[in-house]
Amino acid sequence: MAQDTLSKLRAAVRDVPDFPKAGIIFKDITPILKDGALFRSSVDIFLHQLRNKRIDKIVGIDARGFLFGSAVAYELGIGFVPLRKKGRLPYRTESARYSLEYGEAEMELHIDAIERGEKIVLIDDLLATGGTSASAATLIEKVGGDLIEAIFLIELEFLHGREKLKPTPVTSFLKY
Ligand code: AMP
């Protein structure tokens, strides 16, 4: 992917200090989403990473992972599975608790969302401590999926989140 594209995306990410809590610098991606060309190129960099790979489904993390994940699944012509915060999915679920950079949470996945042995790619906007993605990985494997890769637009490298995802290969495009 062209360096120029990555520079433009990086320039559009807005730092919002002390959101949602004091001491957190929130990486706001809405300036990317509201710009047609930037939104398209942000989805294209995920697609570039996934071209020519055999993937059965994309799992996107609530809520910003849905934005990129569903666009990628649509373009690849494969299924999209939402991994949601507790209490949002209507059918029977598997769940996993985890801790966040700013709090505690529980994620859920429909028990029939993934068939045994399906090749899964996990997508979210940002990798911070890795707690959310690690619980996603646990859930994907619990329902029989084969998590082959996790991809993020942004990675906060100083939080070492990718360690929690081992041995799953992790790709990110904008590193801080
Ligand atoms: P973590 O479990 O710590 O890796 O947190 C990742 C999840 O929380 C992702 O779904 C992100 O969207 C969100 N998140 C965590 N920290 C930030 C941050 N500094 N800016 C924006 N989103 C964040």
pLDDT digits (tens, 9 = 90+) for 55-106: 999 999 999 999 999 999 999 999 999 999 999 999 999 999 988 766 788 9
How many CB atoms are closer than 10 A to CB 161?
Answer: 24
What pLDDT was estimated at residue 99?
80
- Catalytic residue list contains 106: no
The two three-digit tokens of residue 63, written as one number:
């809520």
Nearest residue by C-alpha to atom 15 in ligand 1: 128
Q: Tell me the pLDDT tens digit for each residue of 94-142.
A: 999 988 766 788 999 999 999 999 999 999 999 999 999 999 999 999 9
Q: Are 121 and 149 in contact (CB under 8 A)?
A: yes
How many domains are contained in the chain?
1
Nearest ligand 1 atom to alpha carbon 128: 4
Q: Is the CB of 161 under 6 A from ligand 1?
A: yes
- Could you tell me the residue range of the domain that residue 127 belongs to? 54-175
Q: Tell me the pLDDT tens digit for each residue of 10-64.
A: 999 999 999 998 999 999 999 999 999 999 999 999 999 999 999 999 999 999 9
Which of 10, 94, 101, 106 is catalytic? The answer is 101
Residue 31 lies in a domain: no
Nearest to 46 by CA among 34, 26, 32: 32
β-strand pairing of 25-28 with 170-175: unpaired
Residues 6+ apart with CB under 8 A from 126: 27, 29, 64, 152, 153, 154, 155, 156
Residue 126 lies in a domain: yes
State the sign of the Cα–Cα–Cα–Cα dihedral 107, 70, 28, 156.
positive
CA of 152 to the centre of ligand 1 (A): 11
Nearest ligand 1 atom to alpha carbon 29: 21
Residue 35 lies in a domain: no
